[in-house]
Structure 1
Amino acid sequence: MKRANEIRIDPEYQRLFRWSDEQRSRLVESVLLRLPIPPVFFIENEDGRYELIDGLQRVSSMTQFIDAAVIDKEPLKLVGCDIVSELNQKTFADLPLTLQLQLKRSGVRALIIKRQSKEFLRYEMFKRLNTGGSELSEQEIRNCSARIFGDRGVAFYENLIRLSQHPSFVRLTETLADTEIEKRGREELVLHYFAAKNGASYFYGNVANWLSNYMEAVLLEKEAFDYGDEETIFSRVFDAVERVAGEGAFCKFKNDKPIGGLAPAYYEAIVCGVSRTIDKVEQANATVINDALIETRQSSDFRQNVGTGANKRSKFAGRINAIEAAIANA
C-alpha cells in the first residue's frame, strides 16, 4: 500500500523515526516469533487513502526491513536479536524464503477512523492514543493533533512554529536544553504565551492540560484568534523584553543576580505584564524598567505567587499583576 501511495505517513503527525536499529530488529524478531503486535491506527482521507496517525515506528521498521527504498532508507541489518540470535547481521535478502514469506504474510490489526467522523472525534482519538506512557512530549502531541483539524489546525500550528523562530524570542529562550528544543519546547513556550495572555479562564492548575485546552478552544473556534494582531503584539512584546531585560528576562533572581534558566511561572508573569504595558515598556528607559522587574521578582509578595501552590489561579493572576504594577510604577 505504501509503494502504491495508498497510505500516507505524515511526519508532522508522528515523532521522528527515533527507534534504534536494535528496537527495529527486535520488532522483526517478534513478528517472526508470532508474538502479538499492537494495532496501528489510520484516518481515512477524503480521497480514500489511509493516513497513519499511530504506529509509525512499527510500520517504518517493518517497511525498512522488507523494502527500504519505499521510505528512502538504507536496508535494515538486524542487530540485538536476543531470542533468535541467528538473525543478527542478516538483511531481508539474507533470510530463507520461508521466513521472507512468513514476514510478508504476517498480519497486524489496523483500526481506521472513517472520513465521515467529525474532526473533534478524530482529534480526541489521536490525543488519547498518544497520552499516558507515550514517549511523545505534550507539545509533540499538540503538533500532531492540531493538524487533524485540517487547514485550520495546520494554520494555527504553523503560526506557533513561525513565531518560535522570531529572533528576539530565540535569543531570550537560549537557556532551553537541546532536548527540550528537539521536543518542540520553543513552540510550547509560544503557546504558553498565548494561553497566559488570552486563556486565563482555562487555567485550572495543570499547565499541560491548560495549554491543550486553550489550543482546543481556538481550534474549535470557541476563542477568537486574530493572526495578524497576535503576531504583531508577540513581536513587540519579545523585542521589548529583550531590550529591557536581556537574557536573564525569565530567570529567578537573588541578590540582583539571575539564578538558573527559564522559569515558566516567571516567564508567563513577565510576558503578560509586558503585553499589558507594552507602550510604556517600548518607550521607557530600559535600565529603569529592568531594575523594577528585578526588584519585583525578589520581593516576598511576588515569591508568594510563584512558590508552593503556584498553579492556583489566584497566584497565576497575582504574579502577572505584580509585574504589571511594577512596570506601571517604574
Structure 2
Amino acid sequence: MNLIKSTETDIMIQNQERLIEKINDKRKDMKPDRADMTFGEIINMYKDNEIIISPEFQRAFRWDEERQTRFIESLLLEIPIPPIFVAETNDGVWELVDGLQRLSTILSFFGMLKIEDKNNLVLTKGTLIEDLEGFTINTLPERYILSLKRSVCRVEIIRYDSDIEMRYELFNRLNTGGVELSQQEIRNCIFRGYSNKFNVFISDLSKRPEFYNNIYANDNEKERMYLEELILRYFTLKNRGAKYKHIQKHMDDYMLSVSKNENLFNYEEEKELFLRLIKKISDLGVNIFQLATLPFSTSIYDPIMIAFANNIDYIDTLSKEEIVNRIESMKNGNEFRKQTKTSSSSNSRVRKKIEIAESYFSPQNVNSNEQMALF
C-alpha cells in the first residue's frame, strides 16, 4: 500500500515539475518590456510616425464624445488608467495593439488624430465635473493642458523578436478595451509583423462593388472588417480545405502562413480568378447568397464561392438562367437544407455543402438530369 502511495506521489511531483517548467517558459515568451511615458511624449512619437495606428485599426475608434470626455476627466482628476500595449516592428516602430480608444481620445483632443471626422474633440458634461462641457484644447486652462501632457501612461512593449503566435495570443487576451475588436481586426493588426501584403490584398478586394453588393453588410460590419473576413474565409477554404476544429482558428493559421511565406500565395492568379468569380456572381443578381429569410448566409456563400472557383471555365459555358436554376435547386434540396441547420460552420457541414455544390457545378458530376434530381 505504501509503495502505491509512493508511486502516486512521485508521479504527482513529476507532473508538478513539468507544469512549473512549462509555465516558466511561457512567462518568458509572454512577458513584454515596460516603459512609463507621458502623453506628451506619446503624442510626439505619433507625430513623428514612431508609434503607428494603422489606417485599418483606426476605423475601430468607436468611443462617442461622452466616453472620450470621461477619459479626459479621469486624467484631469489623476485617476489611474490601464496601460497601452504596442508591438514593435522590425524597423523598431511601435504599432498600437491595445489602448486604441484611450490614445485616440488624447490625440483627438489635442487635434493630432489623423482621421478628420474624428479629430478635435469637444468635451461634453463630465460624470464628476459637468462644467467640462464645451471645452476644447483651445479653451481649456493652460495648467490643465500641461497636466494632460504630463500624465503618465504605462506602455507594455511586445518586442519584434518575440514569437508571432505569442504576439497574436497576447493581442487576443488583451482585447478587453472599451470596444472589443473583431477577429479580422486582430489578424489585420498582428500579422503585419511579418508582412502587410496579404492584408492589403484582401482589403483591396473587399472594396470591389461586385463583391460587397452581394453581401448585405451593414456599416458596423464593414467597419469591423467583416468583408475582409469573408474574403479570407474564401481563400482559406479554397486553398486549405475544410478540415479544421474551429473555422476562425483555421483562418488564423492560413493568414499567418501566407503572411510568413508569400511564396505560398500566387497574388496575380488568385486576383484574376477572384475578380472573374465575383463578376460572374454579380451578373446573376444580388440575392445569390440569400438563404431562407437571411439576405446573406455563409451557408450558401461557402459552397458557391468554392464550387465556382473550382469550375469557373465550365460555369462560363452555362446561361445565367441555368446557373440560377441550379443554385435554387441546390438551396431547396433536402440534403443541402439539412446541412444549414445547427452548427452550419462545422467542418463536416461545410465540406458536405461544398460537395453538394460541386455536384451541381462540376462537369465531372453533372451528367444528367437524373443525377441532379438526387438532390
In the superposition, the TM-score normalised over structure 1's length comes to 0.84
Q: Partner residue of 2:17?
A: none
SS at match of 1:38: coil
Number of residue-to-residue matches in the alignment: 318
Q: Partner residue of 1:177?
A: 218
- Asked if residue 83 in structure 1 is aligned to residue 128 in structure 2, the reply is yes
* Letter matched to residue 321 of structure 1: E
Residues 1-330 of structure 1: pairs in structure 2 closer than 5 A: 1=41, 2-3=43-44, 5=48, 7-12=50-55, 14-16=57-59, 17-65=61-109, 67-69=110-112, 75-92=120-137, 94-96=139-141, 98-130=143-175, 134-149=179-194, 152=195, 154-173=196-215, 175-201=216-242, 203-204=244-245, 206-221=246-261, 224-243=264-283, 245-252=284-291, 259-328=293-362, 329=366
In structure 2, what is the Cα distance between the partners aligned to 1:131 and 1:95? 31
SS at match of 1:36: coil
Structure 1 gaps, min length 5: 254-258
8 Å Cα contact 2:90-2:193 kept in structure 1: no
Q: Residue deviations 1:93-123, cap 9 Å, x none? A: 5445554443333212111223443444444
Percent identity for Structure 1 against Structure 2: 31
In structure 1, what is the Cα distance between the partners aligned to 2:177 and 2:91? 32
How much does 1:48 deviate?
4.2
How much does 1:273 deviate?
1.5
In structure 2, what is the Cα distance between the partners aligned to 1:47 and 1:219? 17
8 Å Cα contact 1:168-1:242 kept in structure 2: yes
8 Å Cα contact 2:289-2:301 kept in structure 1: yes
Root mean square deviation of aligned Cα: 2.8
Q: Which moved more, 1:14-23 or 1:128-137?
A: 128-137
Do the aligned partners of residues 160 and 180 (structure 1) sit closer, same or farther apart at CA in structure 2, a change above 3 Å counting? same
Q: Residue deviations 1:134-175, cap 9 Å, x none? A: 4322222222223222xx2x11011112222334323333x2
Do the aligned partners of residues 3 and 119 (structure 1) sit closer, same or farther apart at CA in structure 2, a change above 3 Å counting? same
In structure 2, what is the Cα distance between the partners aligned to 1:69 and 1:235? 38
Q: Which moved more, 1:259-268 or 1:233-242?
A: 233-242
8 Å Cα contact 1:14-1:54 kept in structure 2: no
Do the aligned partners of residues 145 and 94 (structure 1) sit closer, same or farther apart at CA in structure 2, a change above 3 Å counting? same
In the superposition, the TM-score normalised over structure 2's length comes to 0.75
In structure 1, what is the Cα distance between the partners aligned to 2:250 and 2:127? 44
* Letter matched to residue 153 of structure 2: V
Q: Residue deviations 1:190-232, cap 9 Å, x none? A: 111112212225532x433332232123224499222122112
Structure with higher Rg: it is: 2
Do the aligned partners of residues 32 and 237 (structure 1) sit closer, same or farther apart at CA in structure 2, a change above 3 Å counting? same
Q: Which moved more, 1:36-45 or 1:164-173?
A: 164-173
Q: Which moved more, 1:104-113 or 1:91-100?
A: 91-100
Q: Which has the higher contact order (CA 8 A, sep 6+)?
A: 2
8 Å Cα contact 1:281-1:327 kept in structure 2: yes
